[in-house]
Structure 1
Amino acid sequence: MLLRYLAYTLATIWLIHSFWPEHADAQQSPPPVSQCQAIAEATPKATFVSVTPPGATLAAAADSEVDITYLGHSTFLIETPGGISIATDYNGWFRPPAPPTVVTMNKAHSSHYTLTPDTAIRHVLHGWGEDGEAADHDLVVGDAYIRNVTTDIRSGYGGSELNGNSIFIFEVAGLCIGHLGHLHYELDDSHYRQIGRLDVLMVPVDGGLTMGAESMSRVVSRLRAALILPMHRPPLIDDFLAMFGDGFDKSFATGATVKVSLRSLPNKPLIYVLKGM
């Protein structure tokens, strides 16, 4: 009797799995787990310091290098150890040598997006949503996990557009890399919780087209990334650097590319101005 009961049970389980609609499995698939948010959820008002997260996988990846190249304006090319290439705020003007795997965009200005990207690009991620909904990206491609945190932007006649900008976060080789996009307003605690720890931060410097230097410096200080890469408006870089005291190192690179790994991150936050910026 017991054997017959077990046989019926196993047969029932097999039938359920055989005939269950495929889309239901997809809906129940767990979302990717963010290593960068783990600390943030537990300490919502903390200032996050770049640290090497525990775990065998991350320890093995400590020497894996990510190449970051400044192409111009707000476009960086991120190249992962697994061969994935990502272009930030892609506008079609500053193009890498080959079509990237993924591009991210923001619509605050035409210099931050294009509606006619190269058809060879596999994933085009808009930082703005459709039909009034906020953009929501959780993309795993190769060895990279890409997600976004939306922020409001200024609109005409002194108004605001909800969720018109996205801060894109790229998690690869144990690193948390954040691109602020076209940030118009200072972040609140909710934003910081969603962003979490950042090791590398790409920050707009423009004297007020996004935010003034003082406001942007407060955001940079709160995020406390180990490596800070300015972007956007080169002539104003000296004014931006002047906002930071002895708690930050500053350096001008001789090239447009920096190689980054968990092990090579500076112990003291470094504002590193890549060639071309």
Structure 2
Amino acid sequence: MEIKWLGHSSFLITTNDGTKILTDPFDNTIGYDVYTGNADIITVSHDHYDHNYLREVKGTPTLVDKPMTYDLGNIKIHGISSYHDEVKGLKRGSNIIFVIEADGYKLAHLGDLGHLLDFDTINILNNLDVLFIPIGGNYTIGPKEAVKLCDVLDSKLIIPMHYKTPALNFTIKGLEEFIQNIKNGEKVHSKVYTLPETMNFKNKVIILDYLD
């Protein structure tokens, strides 16, 4: 399985049989290059412009945008209701966490999660291979809350997202505070990371580039 970071909370996940899963595509106002390639499946965690831009995606993708279970052949996706803020959606509305099972891996994309998770949700997110977690604060959980969740979920691999880079044109926190608190982080100097067949590690943080 190959994971490519497109910027912000958007990733292109390509399974071993070539199926392309696109997460939270953004429009052309936030600073990153808009994705204009093909997709077979698109997950949308919530209907904000920096997470739901479908217009330029090619193909006839299946839209996954509800808190329910999707059985898509060799891929299963489970949507879990959550909130975009710490007051049960009163400020910014709802958010969907997506658990993706494909190629024998279990991945969780937390979308714009704005709060720590309850016991039931943590139980659903057990035994994760990959955790995509927002860390920038302001609109989502911040770096300290993200580290707490990483410690609780204890996934094999952590990929931070939704943080400030030179390309992003609105204000959230960058990587620094998250890395200082979690005390590890490996830059892979690429937009792309291929998951190894065996991942004998816990809470390994990898930092992807958003530039080619």
Q: What interval of TM-score do these two structures reach, taking the shorter chain for normalisation?
A: 0.7 to 0.9
Q: Size of the alignment, in residue pairs?
A: 198
Preserved contact between residue 82 and residue 143 of structure 1 (Cα < 8 Å): no
Q: Do residues 250 (structure 1) and 185 (structure 2) align? A: yes
Q: Do residues 101 (structure 1) and 40 (structure 2) align? A: yes
Aligned to 2:196: 261
Instruction: Work out which of the two has the higher radius of gyration on C-alpha atoms and give 1 or 2.
Output: 1
Length-normalised TM-score, structure 2: 0.83
1:109: Cα distance to partner?
3.1
1:213: Cα distance to partner?
1.6
Q: Do residues 274 (structure 1) and 208 (structure 2) align? A: yes
Aligned to 2:72: 141
Instruction: Measure the CA separation in 2 of the matches of 1:121 and 1:239.
Output: 40
Preserved contact between residue 157 and residue 201 of structure 2 (Cα < 8 Å): no
Aligned-partner SS, 2:148: helix
Q: Deviation string for 1:149-194 (max 9, x for gaps)?
A: 11022399x92566x1111111111111111100011101011122
Aligned to 1:72: 7
Aligned to 1:208: 138
Length-normalised TM-score, structure 1: 0.64
Runs of 5+ consecutive residues of structure 1 not aligned to the other structure: 1-65, 127-134
Aligned to 1:179: 109
Q: Which has the higher contact order (CA 8 A, sep 6+)?
A: 1
Preserved contact between residue 39 and residue 58 of structure 2 (Cα < 8 Å): no
1:99: Cα distance to partner?
1.6
1:82: Cα distance to partner?
1.6
1:206: Cα distance to partner?
0.8
Runs of 5+ consecutive residues of structure 2 not aligned to the other structure: 166-173
Preserved contact between residue 84 and residue 144 of structure 1 (Cα < 8 Å): no
Q: CA RMSD in A?
A: 2.5
Aligned-partner SS, 2:11: strand
Report % sequence identity. 24
Aligned-partner SS, 2:139: coil
Aligned-partner SS, 1:154: coil
Aligned to 1:219: 149
Aligned to 2:178: 240
